[in-house]
Structure 1
Amino acid sequence: MDTPIETRSAELPLPRSKSAAKSKRKTYVLLLAGWLVLIGVGVTGAKLYTDHVKAQIAQDIASQTQKQLQSVQEDYQKQVAQLKESVSADMTQLQTKVDTLNELLAFVKDSASNKTDNSNQLYTQLGDVKKKLDELKSNLDMLK
């Protein structure tokens, strides 16, 4: 009996024990829990970062808007000041013309001659005064 003994244990799978199955199951549960924790941390981190970026962008936009509004306000104030100066200069010119007209009217009244040539000059100055008054009215309407 010199026949070799063949062992089948190498060919047959070993029966699994219940403790090995439980151990493998615990490993899968722990891996799943770990992945869920990592995913949760990633989502929370992304949410916090996007909130931070949104707040920073909102702050930057607010400061830029404030600077632009301030610039527009300064430009507006400069334009109003220039318009006031222009109206003041026009009023001074108009006052000069009115004074000249008053002098001319006084002269016409004093001379009271029907043949004077000053009547044409008087009508010309009255027309100029009327034009200036219309311009000033339109400027004042724009200021209101």
Structure 2
Amino acid sequence: MPPSTDPSSTPYVRRSTNKNGSSVRLFLIFWVILIGLGVFATYLYSNHLKQEMLQEVQSQTNQQIAALKADYEKQLKALSQQIEGLQGKVQSFNELLTFTKDNASNKTDNSNKLYTQLNEVKQQLDILQKKMELLK
């Protein structure tokens, strides 16, 4: 049987089927690659946003730490000045107490008043020292 020259023969149909099948395959591969690129770009963009947020949070944290440190140093300086003032008062009370002890008899109330004042000042000094230790 001689080969037919009819355009609607079987070998011609196979060629068109193969051609259509390869174009569908190529179309699907193109879309899979396009989807893969989209997923990869989304991943890179989300990492970029995450890094930006981390940097922003870090800068805000550094600012807050600096503000807290400045406030802490300010409070510490104020407390140390108060302690120095109280130590001066304690020293002057001690000198006054020593002077009155030397000049007064055992029956006077002046020495009792000085002891009371000295004890009050010592209590205030202790309270300030505790506050200073808490700040440290």
Q: Aligned AA for 1:46?
A: T
| Runs of 5+ unmatched residues, structure 2 | 1-7
Structure 1 residue aligned with 2:15: 19
2: distance between equivalents of 1:99 and 1:121? 14
Structure 1 residue aligned with 2:61: 65
Q: Aligned AA for 1:79?
A: Q
Q: CA RMSD in A?
A: 1.8
User: Which structure carries more relative contact order (alpha carbon 8 Å, separation 6+)?
Assistant: 2
1: distance between equivalents of 2:61 and 2:42? 28
Structure 1 residue aligned with 2:109: 120
| Runs of 5+ unmatched residues, structure 1 | 1-13
Structure 1 residue aligned with 2:103: 107
Alignment of 1:78 with 2:74, yes or no, is: yes
2: distance between equivalents of 1:35 and 1:21? 21
Q: Once the 2 structures are TM-superposed, how far is the Cα of residue 60 of structure 1 from its aligned partner?
A: 1.1
Q: Once the 2 structures are TM-superposed, how far is the Cα of residue 85 of structure 1 from its aligned partner?
A: 0.1
TM-score by length of 1: 0.79
2: distance between equivalents of 1:120 and 1:106? 14
CA deviation string 1:86-129 (max 9, x = no partner): 00111111222222212211111xxx4x7x6xx21211110110
Structure 1 residue aligned with 2:38: 42
**Structure number, greater radius of gyration:** 1
2: distance between equivalents of 1:70 and 1:50? 30
Aligned residues: 124
Alignment of 1:130 with 2:126, yes or no, is: no
Q: Once the 2 structures are TM-superposed, how far is the Cα of residue 15 of structure 1 from its aligned partner?
A: 7.3
Q: Aligned AA for 1:72?
A: L
Q: Aligned AA for 1:41?
A: L
Which deviates more from structure 2 when the two are superposed, residues 23-32 or residues 96-105? Answer: 96-105
Of the three residues 69, 91, 94, the one matched with 1:95 is 91
Higher-helix-fraction structure: 2
Alignment of 1:53 with 2:42, yes or no, is: no
Identity of aligned residues (%): 21
SS at match of 1:66: helix
Task: Return structure 1 stretches of 4+ with deviation > 6 angstroms.
Answer: none
Q: Once the 2 structures are TM-superposed, how far is the Cα of residue 65 of structure 1 from its aligned partner?
A: 0.7
